[in-house]
Structure 1
């Protein structure tokens, strides 16, 4: 790899209105996890969290490929580290996943080509997933004698039965976007080359919505899968509704309903 390639920033960012687009940019390796990727994504999300001009995020990959997972040349060197050092390295991915799940604004994954290993984990860590019809996903770890990380087994278990999650993890077999869409893992399927545009259009609509209500909804949806049962979720829903009823966003939304007009939340951010 050239010095210029080594110096390439791990992500490219751009703004499309109120949407922040984050592009995993390592196309020479099908956007495999590059050094600094997790930190760069975390830094961008932390800045966007406090930026009222950002209402939603799209996560995608350069050159029509989402992410091929961990760079095996880098992972092979982990053998030289102590267990504690290997665990510390994993925190880059796991800390990013925690940040994404707690992020108050919608994150939409746009998957072209494919997502494997930790790339699949990152796609599933997003709130919504748009994929091209020919995109392929894989829990690929077992093929190189590794085990899943990044929360992929937890995310898949939210939608799939144990037997199917076990099959995907034990075989590492590729599964197409259309099958995952039928199973409820992928939200929307597009023609090849259209996933980015569809994800951006969806994110733009979400970014124009009530931001505080969206943050509460995200928290409720994630909390519903924590295994604490209906009583705990009822409490969370009640707390959220109490806050929402007093919020200026609901005042505008309800007024717009009665006025038969589109709600305008722009002045309430």
Structure 2
């Protein structure tokens, strides 16, 4: 399943995707955008997949955009630059639209669009030594890949401005305090911890988890009235789902639910 830019492995019910350009600290490329999008589309239609974990080869998550490519982009017409960014945006949207959880395992660092990618994921595990850097401003650039939206969902405007306008490295502990990072682990353990998280979803009700993911994203932008309406609609769907039948029966019968047999 692997390609030149990604190392892809199925581990039980979890798909491990490793960004594979260690010579550039896994700088992101249009090929990566397309291939990662394809992996997520495949996971969405495979009922046996419970989660996707994204990590980086060589002890570093991603340095973000390739500066040589960004330099070359300066010679393009604005419409061509916009088209290239469309590939990045479609990848970010595919992470958010995926019905399965997508988990980032960050070692070393996540910079620029690499930080955008990590924070677009549903959960983030980071090693204690990892740094997050909104590095765009250092190159005279502005954030992309939804970074400001991801940060605004967890932090006040002043913090979003500080991180993006100064472009200073931020520790995993501070990102955890902000709420962006769920777990901080020892160096070299981020991938194992993320895979363990993914494995927890293997025993969870897949469709219910997908609905919860949808609700979590919508809650950041919806009014209370719209969110109440969405919650009601998804609760109606959930009540009619076989997952609810199994979950409620297991609770009443004082046994563990077997959601795995309902995957399709």
TM-score normalised by L of structure 1: 0.95
8 A contact 1:141–1:172 mirrored in 2: yes
Worse overlay, 250-259 or 235-244: 250-259
Give the 3-state SS of the residue equivalent to 2:58 in structure 1: helix
8 A contact 2:30–2:84 mirrored in 1: no
RMSD: 0.9
Question: What's the offset of the Cα at 1:208?
Answer: 2.0
Matched, 1:50 2:45: yes
Distance, in Å, in 2 between the alignment partners of 1:207 and 1:40 is 24
Distance, in Å, in 2 between the alignment partners of 1:17 and 1:196 is 15
Aligned twin of 2:156: 161
Question: What's the offset of the Cα at 1:40?
Answer: 0.8
The partner residue of 1:234 within 228, 234, 242 is 228
8 A contact 2:202–2:260 mirrored in 1: no
The partner residue of 1:28 within 23, 33, 37 is 23
Matched, 1:268 2:262: yes
Question: What's the offset of the Cα at 1:63?
Answer: 1.7
Question: What's the offset of the Cα at 1:72?
Answer: 0.3
Question: What's the offset of the Cα at 1:262?
Answer: 1.4
Aligned twin of 2:185: 190
The partner residue of 1:110 within 91, 102, 105 is 105
Matched, 1:136 2:131: yes
Give the 3-state SS of the residue equivalent to 1:64 in structure 2: coil
Q: Please list the CA deviations of residues 157-176 of structure 1 after superposition, one character each: whole Å capped at 9, or x if unmatched.
A: 00111001101111100100
Distance, in Å, in 2 between the alignment partners of 1:216 and 1:164 is 30
8 A contact 2:26–2:63 mirrored in 1: yes
Question: What's the offset of the Cα at 1:35?
Answer: 4.6
8 A contact 1:120–1:138 mirrored in 2: yes
8 A contact 2:34–2:87 mirrored in 1: yes
Q: How does 1:10-21 map to 2 (within 5 A)?
A: 10-21=5-16
Aligned twin of 1:221: 216
Aligned length: 261
The partner residue of 1:259 within 239, 253, 263 is 253
Distance, in Å, in 2 between the alignment partners of 1:56 and 1:195 is 16
Distance, in Å, in 2 between the alignment partners of 1:245 and 1:45 is 27
8 A contact 2:30–2:88 mirrored in 1: no
Question: What's the offset of the Cα at 1:267?
Answer: 1.5
Aligned twin of 1:87: 82
Aligned twin of 1:3: none
Structure 1 stretches lacking a partner, 5+ long = 1-7
TM-score normalised by L of structure 2: 0.97
**Greater than 2 Å deviation, 4+ residue runs:** none
